Amino acid sequence: MKRHVILHIEGVPNPNAIKIVLENGMLVDQPYEFTDVIDTASSPLAQKLMMFRYVKRVMLNQNYVTIVKDPKKKLDWEDVLYDLKSIIQQHLADDEPIIYIGSDGNKHKKDDEVVPKMVTDVLNKFVRNAAQEDGGDILFEAYDNGVLTLSMRGACHQCPHIHQTIKDGVEPVLRQFVPEIREVKTV
C-alpha cells in the first residue's frame, strides 16, 4: 500500500537552492545535512538525491528537503525540478527509510555551556523559523571569548545574502539577548 504524499516547491533567496516541502507529514525531527555521497550512507533519500551530478548538498529538516546545486554547473531549476520532486515523492510514497535509526554523523551537535545554551534558545525562538522558511537553517556551531560562530545549512549555505542576513538580522537579535557576544561569524 502506497502512502499518499503531497509536495510543493518553494523558491528561496539563494538562487542555487530549492526547497521541496512535504505538506502532509514529517520527515525528520531535526536538521541533517549531507555534503557528499559518502555522508549519505545513513539516509537513503539523501543518497538518491546526491546521485545527481549537479547536487552539491542536501538538507533534511522537519517537513522539507533543501537541495543545493553546484553553482559551476550551468543548469536551470526548471530543467531538473520534476526529476527531484519525483524521486522524493516516490521514496516517501513507498515508505522507504529517510534516516536510519542511530545515524548521528550528520546530526547537528549542541554545546551545553551557558552562553551556547542561551544562543541556541534565541536561535530557536527568533531566527531559525525564518531561515527554515527559506529552505535553510542557522545553527549554533561554537562560542569562544565573545565570538559566536554559526553554521549555515541548506539554502543558507553560500547564499549571496547571508552576510546581510547575519549583520542586519541575526547579530542584533542575538546581541540583544546575549550581550556577551561581540562578533558573529559563519562557518
Please name every residue paired with 143 in a beta bridge, in sequence order, or none if there are none: 148
Of the pLDDT bands very low, low, confident and very high (cuts 50, 70, 90), residue 45 is very high
Q: For residue range 136-158, what is the model confidence (pLDDT) as tens digits?
A: 999 999 999 889 999 999 999 88
Which residues touch 27 (CB under 8 Å, ≥6 apart)?
45, 60, 61, 62, 63, 64, 65, 98
- Cite the beta strand spans of the chain per DSSP E: 7-11, 17-22, 32-34, 55-61, 64-69, 136-144, 147-154, 183-186
Q: For residue range 73-116, what is the model confidence (pLDDT) as tens digits?
A: 888 999 999 999 999 999 999 999 999 876 665 555 555 577 88
DSSP state for residue 76 in the 8-state scheme: -
Say if residue 117 is exposed, middle or buried (CB neighbours under 10 Å; 0-12, 13-18, 19+). middle
| CATH annotation of 114-186 | 3.30.300.130
The ranges of the chain annotated as CATH 3.30.300.130 are 114-186
* Residue the block writes with cell 539554502: 155
Class of domain 7-93: alpha beta
The ranges of the chain annotated as CATH 3.30.1370.70 are 7-93
Q: Closest by alpha carbon to 151, among 166, 169, 168, 139?
A: 139
Distance CA 143, CA 120 (A): 11
Answering whether pTM is above 0.75, one says: no
pLDDT at 105 (0 to 100): 56
